[in-house]
């Protein structure tokens, strides 16, 4: 029997409700759940943890393929804010960082926390035009968490190059349905628990081939060229690759995300994106038929509807999971959703 997109998805997911909240947290595939159970058994039974450390490297390699970069340029960590903090720490005092107004806190707050950087926020639609001489770094989400708007990344890249600015792009709300090009930006990041459908606790950072001038301020034993020889005292030899920026891994998270990333690779980001956007557009059309106008976010799998956020608890009671963000009802569509999910949401909203 031929394996299709639909049959592969059906084999991996069986949600018990209408789940439209991937922008908060993705569902775990069956293969990932099985891997997590096995990882727990390995530790519970006192077996060697070598397979779990191997999962870290397999996940790193999978993410590198999705980002289109050599595996030596991928660091494996635990959170977006951690790596934003590493990038922030590399900037000289007084450097200007350009951000988008209302971007997700983990993207922007580490730059504010430095206290000696000039952080400037502009509307997302103006961010490319706002790059100027003296801008050291542009930090922005590829897709906005609150409403799904997609940054004009090609324009931003060109503007940054023209003014000698570096770029830090967080793909946490896009990786898995929107193509990443890790070569196009200085630093590219994504968490693994949203559209990459993995457990919490795995995050990947792509750095330039020359490691981007970053200082491994959070380096522990795992960041050594030979980790098991870097367990005591100062690290004598940091990893020669992006692994010098690794954070000691949450082994269960990586045991799971390895298999989640493999599923994304099997399905193909293009196919997932086509599926997700068709559902999002179907919802936008249905909303307009009901007299509601979603916030503009063309080409996004996230749909945010002003004035309907208060209906989130009611929808949850009806078995439909989505988010209330600043009074807006946010629905996010991913590979395990179907047209029937869209119609069910529209039906409840119309009542």
On average, the pLDDT of the chain sits at 97
pLDDT at 299 > cutoff 80:
yes
| Whether 63 contacts 261, CB under 8 Å | yes
- The predicted structure's pLDDT at residue 1: 58
Cα–Cα distance for residue pair 27/25, rounded to 1 Å: 7
| E strand map for the chain | 18-19, 74-77, 96-100, 118-122, 135-141, 166-170, 187-191, 203-206, 302-305, 320-321, 323-325, 328-332
Confidence class for position 118, pLDDT limits 50, 70, 90: very high
Cα–Cα distance for residue pair 333/215, rounded to 1 Å: 38
Kindly give the pairing relationship between strand 96-100 and strand 135-141. Answer: parallel
pLDDT in tens, 36-82: 999 999 999 999 999 999 999 999 999 999 999 999 999 999 999 99
Cα–Cα distance for residue pair 256/243, rounded to 1 Å: 20
- Beta bridge partner(s), residue 135: 96
- The predicted structure's pLDDT at residue 9: 97
pLDDT at 31 > cutoff 70:
yes
Spatial CA neighbour of 67 closest among 211, 250, 165, 190: 190
114, 234, 251 from 67: Cα distances, Å: 29, 32, 22
166, 212, 263 from 162: Cα distances, Å: 10, 18, 38
pLDDT at 110 > cutoff 80:
yes
- The predicted structure's pLDDT at residue 326: 83
pLDDT at 84 > cutoff 70:
yes
pLDDT in tens, 120-165: 999 999 999 999 999 999 999 999 999 999 999 999 999 999 999 9
Domains for the chain: give ranges and CATH numbers. 5-28+268-350 (3.90.1150.10), 38-266 (3.40.640.10)
Kindly give the pairing relationship between strand 187-191 and strand 320-321. Answer: unpaired
Spatial CA neighbour of 125 closest among 298, 260, 315: 298
pLDDT in tens, 197-254: 999 999 999 999 999 999 999 999 999 999 999 999 999 999 999 999 999 999 999 9
């Amino acid at each position: 029997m031929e394996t299709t997109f639909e049959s592969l998805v059906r084999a991996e997911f069986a949600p018990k409700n209408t789940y439209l909240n991937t922008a908060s947290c993705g569902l775990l595939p069956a293969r990932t759940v099985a891997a997590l159970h096995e990882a727990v058994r390995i530790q519970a039974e006192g077996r060697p943890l070598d397979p779990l450390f191997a999962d870290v490297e397999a996940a790193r390699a999978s993410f590198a393929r999705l980002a289109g970069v050599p595996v030596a340029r991928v660091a494996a960590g635990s959170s977006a804010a951690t790596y934003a903090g590493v990038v922030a720490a590399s900037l000289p005092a007084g450097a200007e960082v350009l951000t988008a107004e209302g971007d997700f806190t983990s993207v922007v707050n580490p730059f504010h926390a430095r206290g000696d950087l000039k952080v400037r926020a502009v509307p997302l639609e103006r961010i490319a035009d706002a790059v100027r001489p003296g801008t050291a770094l542009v930090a922005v989400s590829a897709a906005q968490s609150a409403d799904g708007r997609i940054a004009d990344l090609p324009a931003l890249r060109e503007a940054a190059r023209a003014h000698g600015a570096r770029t830090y792009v967080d793909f946490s709300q896009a990786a898995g349905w929107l193509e990443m090009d890790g070569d196009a930006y200085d630093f590219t990041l994504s968490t693994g628990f949203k559209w990459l459908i993995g457990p919490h606790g795995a995050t990947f950072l792509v750095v330039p081939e020359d490691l981007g001038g970053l200082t491994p301020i959070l380096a522990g034993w795992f960041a050594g060229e030979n980790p098991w020889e870097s367990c005591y005292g100062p690290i004598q030899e940091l990893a020669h690759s992006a692994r010098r920026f690794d954070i000691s891994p949450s082994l269960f998270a990586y045991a799971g995300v390895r298999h989640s990333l493999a599923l994304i690779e099997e399905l193909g980001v293009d196919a997932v994106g086509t599926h997700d956007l068709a559902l999002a557009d179907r919802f936008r059309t249905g909303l307009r038929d009901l007299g509601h106008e979603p916030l503009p976010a063309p080409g996004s799998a996230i749909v945010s509807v002003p004035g309907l956020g208060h209906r989130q608890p009611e929808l949850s009671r009806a078995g439909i999971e989505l988010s209330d963000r600043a009074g807006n009802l946010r629905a996010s569509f991913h590979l395990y959703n179907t047209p029937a999910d869209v119609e069910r949401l529209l039906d409840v909203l119309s009542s």
